[in-house]
Structure 1
Amino acid sequence: MHKSKPAYDAIKNSDFDALSGFLDSDPTLVGAMTPFGPLLHVAARLGDEQMINLLLERGADIEARGGILGGTALNEAASDARLGAVQLLLRLGAQMDVSEPERNPLFSAIHSGSLEIVRLLVERGIDTTVAYTGESMKNMDASAFALEMGKTKIVHFLRTRLQEV
């Protein structure tokens, strides 16, 4: 991470001018990987919309995977309940990957307890019925995951929404 460390620090410190300067001097930094994923993931997890915009304008891949769970920036923003960042990423074309529970932004939003993000993702058409089976879950969809996490308002919302369909 040594090459990307100053850029990472600029994002963590919300120093737009510093990040912009680092990207000016080394445009390859836009895709630099940190232990937490690409720089875009760091900005998304912090919910820093200005940094997200800058990185995307400079060529960051909105669908780049990385970090601990191998998800995208959308997943990271949902994991930290960053509604504005989730809205921005969706507006800019981020895909809602439901291929694995760790990559599913709906599961991330449920885990963070953000009913607002759950609502947004459902309104945008995310599949709430996809079910996963693995080491820690058996045939678990979003509603069952919310129930297991103790997120009763989200369970109610998802179940009510399923009845409407």
Structure 2
Amino acid sequence: MPAKHGILKLTDILLMNGELLMTVYYKDLTYYSLHHFENAQNIGWINGVNVYKKGIVSSDFIENLRLYTIKSFNEIRGNVNCSLCSDKFTTLGLSEIRVISKDGKNKYASPSMIIHYVTEHHYCPPEEFIRAVIDGPKPGSNEYQEYERRYNIECLWGESDEIIDNSEKLRNGIINNDRKMINDNSTLCNIITKDGSLINVAIKSGNVEMVNDLIQLGADLNKFNGIELNNAVLESENEIVKLLLSKNIKIDVSTPKLNPLFTAIRKGNYDASKLLLENGVDAKIKYTNEFMKDMDAVTLAKHCKQDSIIELLEKY
């Protein structure tokens, strides 16, 4: 289940037969939110359940990609199995890499296991990532070392001083319900904060009017693949859930952890469950992984002893 306010923790790395198994999944080119919110696009967070693109990549790309595995980010001690071939054991999976585009405008976040996915499972990343790996600054270069130096929470994981200052100003503006200040800075409505998107800050504050203001100003509801919907459900901010659904936020059901209906059931949030079902969330989707087999919404509700939600689900 996602941690409070949307950050997914290492419960996405599961224990099976005494060994760690990498199961986390994010769609390519969504934005990073595993350990914290970061202005880096996800690449290569695949598993044995969700479909991923396969293809042939150049040896030049593979050789350059290997260079990034020498510098680990967000490293956790231990070894991990590949969920695509659990008989193979590797030390790569419990750390990450960061790749920067040649012009410095884009950053990419990948599990270090990506080199294994590419060479052993024919995973083919997006072309823009391939170009960044080949042409972008490499670990050890001055540019990359400067990025490493700024990779901390105070610098919002590699952002410039200008972005940091604007981010905190707008974050405080939302917390203080300064709608005029937010409106006057509408061009920054998609800026990253330490709490994720500005919409996520408004959700944490329970401010439905501010969420609506941000949407009207052009905030991207799906920068983090619709995680704000899950967060609103988790916070029991059901008026915000209703608003987000009316604005066609992405409903991510790729994993049980990200499925907002599953979050509503675990939370015992009947009203959110009803809203999600009314807006087309499929209660019959079943999940199978190391901890569950053919788990659908009704089965989960029974497990959580949510009797009123069980009655609701049986109507769909």
TM category, shorter? 0.7 to 0.9
The percentage of aligned residue pairs carrying the same residue is: 34
Which of 261, 267, 274 is the aligned partner of 1:119?
Answer: 274
In the other structure, the counterpart of 2:177 is 14
Bigger radius of gyration among the two = 2
In the other structure, the counterpart of 1:161 is 315
User: In 2, distance between residues paired with 1:36 and 1:133?
Assistant: 31
The CA deviation string for residues 3-38 of structure 1, in whole angstroms up to 9 with x for no partner, is: 3122112222333233334x25xx2x3112223321
Which of 87, 103, 109 is the aligned partner of 2:242?
Answer: 87
- Residue 135 of structure 1 deviates from its aligned partner by 4.2
In the other structure, the counterpart of 1:101 is 256
Which of 204, 219, 231 is the aligned partner of 1:76?
Answer: 231
**Residues 12/107 of structure 1: CA separation in 2 closer, same or farther (3 Å cut):** farther
Alpha-carbon RMSD: 2.1
The 8 Å contact of residues 32 and 38 in structure 1, kept in 2 or not, is answered as yes
Which of 219, 231, 234 is the aligned partner of 1:60?
Answer: 219
In the other structure, the counterpart of 1:40 is 199
**SS of alignment partner, residue 211 of structure 2:** helix
- Residue 89 of structure 1 deviates from its aligned partner by 1.1
- Residue 40 of structure 1 deviates from its aligned partner by 1.2
The 8 Å contact of residues 81 and 117 in structure 1, kept in 2 or not, is answered as yes
User: In 2, distance between residues paired with 1:71 and 1:137?
Assistant: 24
TM-score (norm 1): 0.80
User: In 2, distance between residues paired with 1:96 and 1:17?
Assistant: 30
The 8 Å contact of residues 255 and 287 in structure 2, kept in 1 or not, is answered as yes
The equivalences for 1:145-160 within 5 A come to: 145-158=300-313, 160=314
User: In 2, distance between residues paired with 1:139 and 1:116?
Assistant: 25
Name the one with the larger strand percent: 2
User: In 1, distance between residues paired with 2:285 and 2:308?
Assistant: 20
The CA deviation string for residues 81-140 of structure 1, in whole angstroms up to 9 with x for no partner, is: 111111111111223221122221111222322111111111111100112223443322
User: In 2, distance between residues paired with 1:83 and 1:32?
Assistant: 25
The 8 Å contact of residues 171 and 198 in structure 2, kept in 1 or not, is answered as yes
In the other structure, the counterpart of 1:143 is 298
Q: One-letter code of the match for 2:197?
A: P
**Residues 33/99 of structure 1: CA separation in 2 closer, same or farther (3 Å cut):** same
The 8 Å contact of residues 118 and 154 in structure 1, kept in 2 or not, is answered as yes
- Which runs of no fewer than 5 residues in structure 2 stay unpaired? 1-155, 157-163
The 8 Å contact of residues 16 and 51 in structure 1, kept in 2 or not, is answered as yes
Question: Any runs of at least 4 consecutive aligned residues in structure 1 with deviations exceeding 4 A, and if so which?
Answer: none
- Residue 46 of structure 1 deviates from its aligned partner by 3.5
**Residues 34/139 of structure 1: CA separation in 2 closer, same or farther (3 Å cut):** farther
User: In 1, distance between residues paired with 2:177 and 2:257?
Assistant: 27
